[in-house]
Structure 1
Amino acid sequence: MQQRIFIILILILAISGCSRSDRSATTFADYPPLPDDLTRAQVVRVVDGDTIIVRIDRREERVRLIGINAPESVDPRRTVECFGKEAAANARALLDNKTVLLEDDPSQDSRDRFGRLLRYVWLEDGRMVNLEQIWQGYAYEYTYNVPYRYQAIFRAAEADARAAKRGLWSPETCNGQR
């Protein structure tokens, strides 16, 4: 079954004229296109798998990635959760010292109750960090209150990660449980 899905994905990419290297390391078929006119920011620090600190026009802002939740790795009120350190390390690998593009979502508040900006975080190569974290198995889809723009895509990415037993969903990491 997985082999059939992989072949279908390759055919879709071939028909669309988009090679795997043009998109990203992700073979996820429903990858959204990079929007135009996004806010540029410089990553200052990765806090954990779903929160970063960026510099926008000389001021630092804490950013919470919309639509995902990663296992806790730094909350002083909680123990480090299974795969929390790995989720944070993957976010660092994607984001350390990078310029990113921030996308807001009109269906969501601009900030959460902790004052963090709520954003989709895009790399300049067209990969969305929120989606990468889910698809690679370092986070799971999370809806807070109301549906968001990429909810269906994020849910499909999580289902793909679960089916492939990547990251959180691997029996060797967290016993296949998040």
Structure 2
Amino acid sequence: MRRVLKNEDSEIIKTNLGYIEGNSNNNLKISKILYKEQKGFCAYTEEYLGRADARDIEHFDPTLKGTKDDSYSNWFLVKHQWNKEKSTKWEDFQPVLHPTNDNFDDRIVYDDGDYHVSDLDDQEAINLVKLLKLDDIILADERKKYIKRKAKELSIYGESAEVFFKVLIDDDIKQISYLRAIDQEFDIDIRSLLPDLE
């Protein structure tokens, strides 16, 4: 996971959209905008959200849901499973680092397929890793296998990492996962290669 960037000119803000419990038409608008802003990727796992993937508007701080303080800065589009697993643990992991924190990528670092905190005294970062299961062994193993497979394919392909990943994106964006891992392992800015979504 990397720091999530929020758009100050988001359509959510411009149109003053608010999350309304049980209003699927309204909330679908929010979901579509978040999907577009996140370029189709889960904010937490950085896996592509395909048509068949159950996805949720995640209220990062669930205590704000349904209150006047719940807003765009608290909403992320995520895979349903990650939202479900987080939903009952909020109170157990306080204080917690917010995904939009300016220093996020310095406080939670990527290292050879794993995520860990850079400062063992940084309780907010430690709590976020545990809350979102960024250290989940199964997900980390999938991330490592993916990177190893792409490195092998890249060596066979014989092009630059930018060209290789652009071909994958153009062919089928579902071939792309783990954006921060790609950035760091292949020294590219994968997000800049991703198409803007309509």
**TM-score, normalised on structure 1?**
0.29
Structure holding more helix per residue: 2
Structure with the higher strand share, 1 or 2? 1
